[in-house]
Structure 1
Amino acid sequence: MQPTLRRLGLLAWLAAAASGCGRDEQAHAAIRPLATQRRLALPVEVYTLNIPDDLPGFAVPGPDGANPKMLFLHGMCSAGVGDVQAFQFAANEHGGILAIRGDTPCDDAGVLRRHSFDLDKLDARIRAAFEVSGGVADDLVLVGHSQGAYLGERLAEQWPQRYSRLVLIGAPTEPSAARLRHVRGAVMVSGEYDVTTRMKQAATELQSAGIPATYLEMPGAKHGQMGDAERVFGEAFTWLEANALPRKP
């Protein structure tokens, strides 16, 4: 099968999976700027990030307002905000997280979006977003959901020093140990009612290849849903901190 046809097949799978989820994110909650959050002593929450020549992103700061050290890539035809809100406290505790929105709209309003498959463009957008946030796009924990997991795997294959640790959720294809042979560690995640064998098998193959990896499951979750996300992602980030290989000089 030609690459273009494989890509079209993947898009069809992702669109079908997204059709039953993410629609509630069209009416996502208002997002306060970080300055307002600090001034009012508000609890941890997602804030907007204005990125020049790009769509606004969103982020959760690290402890004491530190610049984010993790990256989130949302799934097909999603707003993405609701996903990050589902584990915002775990994200804050473990270094903060930054997300960019997909560059291709899925609806007329442009609220629901997907990412194109141009890795160079995606990497450039990520680096620009971290520059705006004051963080550094290097040695990141990449959290990818569905299409974001598919793209995250390929970003880590091409730039393993930048995307060095992974949390991949509900990938549409089984993550490959060959592609991820240079990462420091990986957590494979699936919803209880998703195709769990895909992510379980990926974790096993990564372990066999000498890559620190584990599998976690979100209870009661279908594809595109976040079940018990604060606990699950807290466990994922804690596991990576304890088990990832040392950073190469």
Structure 2
Amino acid sequence: MKTSVVAIAGFGLAVLTTGCGKEERALAEERPAQPAVVDVDNRAVDPPLVATEMAVPGDLPAFVVTGPGGACPRMIFLHGMCGHGLGYVQSIQGAAREHGGVLGLQGNIPCGDSAFSKYSPDPEEQDGRIRAALAACGGEAEDLVLIGYSQGAYIGERLAERWPERYSRLVLLGAPTTPSAARLRGIRGAVMISGEFDAKYRMKEGAGGLMAAKIPAVYREMPGARHGEMPDAERVMDEALDWLDANALPPRRAALP
């Protein structure tokens, strides 16, 4: 995890070291999501391009970059084991805004006495947390793009297996196991990304398996990146999301529980 901490510090993680106590968390839970800005003609315009903390009732705050006009995000970001979502969300905030915004869900299991965390492995629990976070900003948990890094990719794969209409498109980065076409047979499309110096075979094999199963998929690399690192993240993510927009299968209509 030392590499991950150093890798995303430049994207704002250093800020977290000054505000990770109980009092700071309590204050964070009281801060609302950044509202849309209204101009003199009462038209919604984009709020400042910045990741903000959004209170989620009964849970940790989420980190949010709103979509155009301040809309609730249409993408979910799940960080890696003993990571922190803020730095990752900040690293892709421009691409996120262009593609509907992003909501970074914090892990619900602390990693020692720190601001870092991991996710419990129960997909039903994480699905419930995502739905609650989207409800807190007035969004709907349907036909989402899910971006997962490392453990977040592992969790994202299980969520898409269980609810493919809800988590219909995936961007998986540095998954700890090869993503399975059998699990992801119901999704609309996926982008598999590996760092240039990470274990690339998993994501390459994952993309190949999906393509063989006639599921739109492509492999991309993050130049100069080791596991947990996000250099050139804006460009790589913008291209990945553009690819999904152009190549994903049409939305499926199905009842969601």
With the shorter chain as reference, the TM-score category is 0.7 to 0.9
- 2:190 counterpart residue number: 186
- Correspondence for 2:4: 21
Give the letter aligned to residue 187 of structure 2: V
- Residue of 82, 85, 89 corresponding to 2:87: 82
Give how far 1:80 is off: 1.3
Is the contact between residue 72 and residue 100 of structure 1 (CA under 8 Å) also seen in structure 2? yes
Matched, 1:161 2:144: no
Q: Distance in 1 between matches of 2:168 and 2:60?
A: 25
- What is the CA–CA distance in structure 2 between the aligned matches of 1:27 and 1:65, rounded to whole Å? 24
Which sections of structure 2, spanning at least 5 residues, go unmatched? 20-27, 39-45
SS of 1:167's equivalent in the other structure is strand
Once the two structures are superposed, residues 154-173 of structure 1 have per-residue CA deviations (whole angstroms, 9 ceiling, x without a partner) of 00001101000000000000
Between the aligned partners of 2:181 and 2:228, the Cα distance in structure 1 is 24
The whole-number CA distance in structure 1 between the counterparts of 2:193 and 2:16 is 24
Instruction: Tell me by how many angstroms 1:19 deviates.
Output: 3.8
Q: Please say if residues 36 and 70 of structure 2, whose CA atoms lie closer than 8 Å, have aligned partners that are also in contact.
A: no
Aligned residues: 231
Asked whether 1:124 is paired with 2:131, we answer no
Alignment gaps of 5+ in structure 1: 1-17
Percent identity of paired positions between Structure 1 and Structure 2 = 54
Does structure 1 residue 73 correspond to structure 2 residue 78?
A: yes
Residue 216 of structure 1 aligns to which amino acid in structure 2? R
Tell me the TM-score normalized by structure 1. Answer: 0.87
1:217 paired residue number: 221
Take 2:230 and 2:124, find their aligned partners in 1: how far apart are those partners? 29
Query: CA contact under 8 A between 2:34 and 2:47: conserved in structure 1?
Result: no
- Give the Å deviation of 1:107: 2.4
Deviation at 1:120, TM superposition (A): 1.0
SS in 1 for 2:168: strand
Residue type at the aligned position of 1:27: V
How far off is 1:33 after superposition?
5.9
Distance of 2:48 and 2:100 partners within structure 1: 16
Given that 1:26 and 1:79 are in contact with CA atoms closer than 8 Å, whether structure 2 keeps it comes out as no
User: 1:191 & 1:162 partners in 2: Cα distance?
Assistant: 27
RMSD (Å) for aligned C-alpha atoms: 2.1
CA shift in 2, pair 1:35/1:103, >3 Å: closer
Counterpart of 1:145, as a letter, is Y
